[in-house]
Structure 1
């Protein structure tokens, strides 16, 4: 019987607790789904013992000295407060261990601002990465040789995996498990963790619904949610204006000012965002068109190509292989 694969998650004082526990839950859930220990998760820190996170939670960790770097299959570094990250990267013993572990590991990476530790350790040069939206500009400025994807939930570049932060560490870890054990197991894990959906890496850190709702005035936040749930309807200005009890002219002016998009463009954004999700789920173009308010698959394909520069079928081939399995 083969030994479990060692998954090492590196924590530090003031790290983000979900950056550690989210991936740990996914790998442990993989063991549960298989009914055997395929992974062995190690929560590590410089010296071991209790580590106080940035939340009101302390975690019990083991020292990196207790796990030989050559035994690590997957290494992930959590994100957290700047002060904690600075303490982490200033520890020469941790740096040597992390560099050695990453070079021998089948894969390595980070969650959230853990990318800054990878950068400090010289493990990002020439790579494409993701990090938390609030840190993208700083990372790009400090690391001009690194391609920072400001939108992606997570990025896989060879052996390197990086995620945008917090809950996206779960998405990234699910994708790792899917690569190891297949999509059927990943779907079981997602169901067990009561996740709304498995989110692919290409998805933006900001959904158009949440982004618009966060900026929208009170009458429009609920309307946007309703629009998202009723994409098959004819979502024109007369209907939308009626929903918020405004004249068409007033609605057009206020909605555009509130969201930064005209109603027509915003409706198309919602429809095409949902199209990407349904493509990943394996639904036919004809079915997707019916669900998202397009009269034909050809009409949908034309709009998709205009917005994303590729056909829906090419998008599915490039981004969604295996998602529907």
Structure 2
């Protein structure tokens, strides 16, 4: 079996562990349904062992970290936390003593969210490209200039090193691991069981334009953005949107850009391409997807998709298709 070890410490972020662990457990369940043996064995470890409390107050039982020495390790992941618990973990002498000897023994190692800073503090990420929570990127890069921090990626693979951005992106990274270890069909089944909106590739930005717009509750365009999302197939040029907003084209362009940080054209294109990825993951034909998201003809859709994501819609569909 492939052993997955989550390294925890007091005050850790519970979802950083529970989300990916649910993915690996879900893969075992999917294998069992077709008469196959489980593939993943999940273990929890901490510097001192015993009961460790998360930031939520929920505690979990762990083994001592030094007990892992000499054992066969598949995946070794250290989870993240808020600043206080994270700083304490980075200074923990037992953690600092154990990690450098364990990472070379693992088939792959890495972190979820800000946990990468613990690895970086030990020099284990020098010269490597990593992902971390958007709120920690600047601090991470300032403290560890020899590490190449990708401020947008959901997760990054660099050889044996796997790192993910904030919290729920650990689920995306775990699904990618399952797809690599087993197959995309198993990963898709797990994603469906977890009721995920879509399996997200690592190169997708951490920043959803729709979520960012929704977060700005005082934006005068919240209702308009909701309408755009529901009518991606319709003509959504500046004249049409300005008319719906009751503004002149010039005034609308200026105010919308100020409110969302993007021009209307770029914002609409991003929403359309995000929706296209979801439809492609369902296996829909390219022409049908292009029509539904308002990026027809299909040649135009393919060109824009390739430019934005670095791969064709057809390739994306094959990589991320979720079987019904």
Is 2:156 aligned against 1:155? Answer: yes
Cα deviation 1:91-115 (Å, max 9, x = unaligned): 3332332222210111000001101
Moved more, 286-295 or 143-152: 286-295
Work out whether residues 69 and 100 of structure 1, in 8 Å CA contact, stay in contact via their aligned partners in 2. Answer: no
Distance across 2 between alignment mates of 1:110 and 1:165: 10
Cα deviation 1:68-125 (Å, max 9, x = unaligned): 3532111000000233223323333323322222101110000011010111122111
Distance across 1 between alignment mates of 2:3 and 2:147: 28
Moved more, 153-162 or 204-213: 204-213
SS state of the match for residue 233, structure 1?
A: coil
Is 2:258 aligned against 1:257? Answer: yes
The unaligned stretches of length 5 or more in structure 1 are: none
The unaligned stretches of length 5 or more in structure 2 are: none
Distance across 2 between alignment mates of 1:224 and 1:40: 44
Aligned to 2:308: 308
Distance across 1 between alignment mates of 2:304 and 2:94: 54
Equivalences for 1:1-325 in 2 at 5 Å? 4-35=1-32, 36-215=37-216, 217-246=218-247, 250-279=251-280, 282-304=283-305, 308=308, 313=312, 317=315, 322-324=319-321
Work out whether residues 6 and 78 of structure 2, in 8 Å CA contact, stay in contact via their aligned partners in 1. Answer: yes
Work out whether residues 69 and 98 of structure 1, in 8 Å CA contact, stay in contact via their aligned partners in 2. Answer: no
Cα deviation 1:102-155 (Å, max 9, x = unaligned): 101110000011010111122111111000001111111222221111001100
Pick closer, same or farther for the CA change 1:60–1:98 going to 2, 3 Å: same
Work out whether residues 216 and 259 of structure 1, in 8 Å CA contact, stay in contact via their aligned partners in 2. Answer: no
Work out whether residues 203 and 309 of structure 2, in 8 Å CA contact, stay in contact via their aligned partners in 1. Answer: no
CA RMSD between the two structures: 2.4
| 1:320 Cα offset (Å) | 6.7
Work out whether residues 219 and 244 of structure 1, in 8 Å CA contact, stay in contact via their aligned partners in 2. Answer: no
| 1:62 Cα offset (Å) | 1.9
Q: Normalising by the residue count of structure 1, what TM-score does the alignment of the two structures yield?
A: 0.88
Work out whether residues 153 and 205 of structure 2, in 8 Å CA contact, stay in contact via their aligned partners in 1. Answer: yes
Distance across 1 between alignment mates of 2:261 and 2:99: 44
Distance across 1 between alignment mates of 2:173 and 2:164: 7
Distance across 2 between alignment mates of 1:160 and 1:277: 27
SS state of the match for residue 205, structure 1?
A: coil
Q: Normalising by the residue count of structure 2, what TM-score does the alignment of the two structures yield?
A: 0.88
SS state of the match for residue 322, structure 1?
A: helix
| 1:279 Cα offset (Å) | 5.0
